[in-house]
Amino acid sequence: MAFMDLVNVSYSYPGQKKTILRDINLSIWNKGCIAVAGSNGCGKTTLSKLLIGILTPVTGFVNLNGQPLASLTLPQIGRRIGYVFQNPDRQFFCATVEEEISFGLQNLGLPADRVLQKVMAILDYFELTRYARTFPLALSAGEKRRLAIAAVLALEPELLVLDEPTAGLDPYRKRLLGDYLEKLITANRGVVLISHDQRFMDRYANRLIRLEEGQIVEQLGA
């Protein structure tokens, strides 16, 4: 059984006729990296929101470990799947960069010293230490992207869904992110990488699916 199964999934936004995703059948494992490619508006972000239960299919279903996603609450899903929004601003709700990372760790019930240790390590890795006390929305676009990724990576989810994670990152930071993803994959975590960055996908993904107008038109890799 795959970690996630999408079976005959179709989706339209409420009150709209246009079918955004059509008959998607896809299995996703909580190991390796699957890249999702396709041109603007083909439905990549919509697909990612179906994976984490923010959206519910109009027809078909999404299972997590054989259980219908619809039977789980968003916090239950969130403990297993980490999600980084295409627009990181939407993700932030804390007063400081440090709290943005510690919040989820505290919620997982980690002891305070362990939380602090993890926050320091991840701030350091993503070169955000000097902004620890900064208001997240005051950061630059690239810094916000790094914070959004760092906050989710700190939780070490079984599956990590990243929507355009390299947008706004310079080559050096992309490399740091890629190295981190490789570490996660080696530690048997799964990654869903939605991207326009073909080189990044080629380098880190072992599977690729291409969407065109809401349908899977190509699948490569194992």
Ligand X SMILES: Nc1ncnc2c1ncn2[C@@H]1O[C@H](COP(=O)(O)OP(=O)(O)OP(=O)(O)O)[C@@H](O)[C@H]1O
Give me the residues that bind ligand X (CB under 6 A), please: 13, 16, 20, 38, 40-46, 86
Q: Which of 134, 126, 137, 120 is nearest to 165 (CA)?
A: 126
- Cβ-proximal residues to 92 (8 Å cutoff; 6+ apart), any chain: 100, 136, 137, 144, 147, 148
Contacts for 119-126: CB closer than 8 Å, 24+ residues apart:
119/154, 122/150, 122/153, 122/154, 123/97, 123/98, 123/150, 125/150, 125/176, 125/180, 126/150, 126/176
* Minimum separation from the CB atom of position 99 to ligand X (A): 29
CA angle 58, 64, 111 (to 5 degrees): 125
* Minimum separation from the CB atom of position 178 to ligand X (A): 20
Q: Which is nearer to ligand X, 102 or 195 (CB)?
A: 195
Q: Which is nearer to ligand X, 67 or 219 (CB)?
A: 219
Check: CB of residue 54 under 8 Å from CB of residue 70. no
Q: Which is nearer to ligand X, 25 or 117 (CB)?
A: 25
186, interface contact from ligand X, Mg ion, none, CB < 5-8 Å by kind: none
* Minimum separation from the CB atom of position 166 to ligand X (A): 13
* Minimum separation from the CB atom of position 44 to Mg ion (A): 5
Position closest to Mg ion via CB: 45
41, interface contact from ligand X, Mg ion, none, CB < 5-8 Å by kind: ligand X
Task: List, in sequence order, the alpha helices (H) in the chain.
Answer: 44-51, 74-78, 97-107, 112-125, 141-153, 171-186, 198-204
13, interface contact from ligand X, Mg ion, none, CB < 5-8 Å by kind: ligand X
Q: Which is nearer to Mg ion, 13 or 135 (CB)?
A: 13
195, interface contact from ligand X, Mg ion, none, CB < 5-8 Å by kind: none
* Minimum separation from the CB atom of position 142 to ligand X (A): 18
40, interface contact from ligand X, Mg ion, none, CB < 5-8 Å by kind: ligand X
Q: Which of 5, 7, 2 is nearest to 29 (CA)?
A: 2
Q: Which is nearer to Mg ion, 87 or 188 (CB)?
A: 87
